[in-house]
């Protein structure tokens, strides 16, 4: 039997090669497994439930935008009541007015789209 030659410590190169081939053959042989027929469905039934997605809208952005509009409007009114000089007032007022207009347009579009 081939097995008896395994006891010998000093194998010839041919015997070592033969042994290596047998080892590789044994390793390459895939074990037969019997997978239960319902295995996949059992795994699927054990899958963790998905977290429900929140559908409540918060409108934090719209609130912030509204506050911004009110603040710019208040600043515009304050500047018109207390002028500090013709040049500086004109530049600051026009910047604030542009911001105010931009916010109003953006807010209107957002409200229109979320309806």
Q: Which residues bind other proteins (CB under 8 A)?
A: 1-4, 6-9, 11, 16, 19-20, 22-24, 26-36, 39-44, 46-48
Measured from the CB atom, the residue of 28 and 87 that comes closer to other proteins is 28
CB of 40 to other proteins, least distance (A): 4
Distance between CA atoms of 78 and 76, rounded to whole angstroms?
5
Distance between CA atoms of 51 and 79, rounded to whole angstroms?
52
Measured from the CB atom, the residue of 10 and 87 that comes closer to other proteins is 10
Measured from the CB atom, the residue of 2 and 82 that comes closer to other proteins is 2
CB of 34 to other proteins, least distance (A): 8
Q: DSSP string covering 39-107, please? A: HHHHHHHTSPPPPPPP-----HHHHHHHHHHHHHHHHHHHHHHS---HHHHHHHHHHHHHHHHHHHHHH
C-beta of residue 29 within 8 angstroms of C-beta of residue 49? no
CB of 37 to other proteins, least distance (A): 11
Measured from the CB atom, the residue of 16 and 77 that comes closer to other proteins is 16
CB of 26 to other proteins, least distance (A): 4
């Amino acid at each position: 039997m081939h097995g008896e030659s395994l006891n010998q410590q000093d194998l010839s190169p041919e015997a070592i090669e033969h042994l290596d081939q047998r080892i590789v053959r044994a390793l390459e042989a895939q074990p037969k497994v019997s997978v239960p027929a319902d295995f996949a469905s059992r795994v699927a039934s054990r899958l963790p439930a998905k977290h429900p997605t929140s559908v409540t809208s918060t409108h934090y952005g719209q609130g912030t935008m509204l506050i911004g509009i009110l603040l710019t409007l208040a600043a515009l009114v304050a500047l018109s009541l207390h002028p500090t000089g013709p040049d500086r007032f004109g530049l600051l007022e026009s910047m604030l007015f542009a911001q105010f207009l931009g916010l109003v347009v953006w807010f209107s579009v957002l409200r229109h789209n979320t309806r």
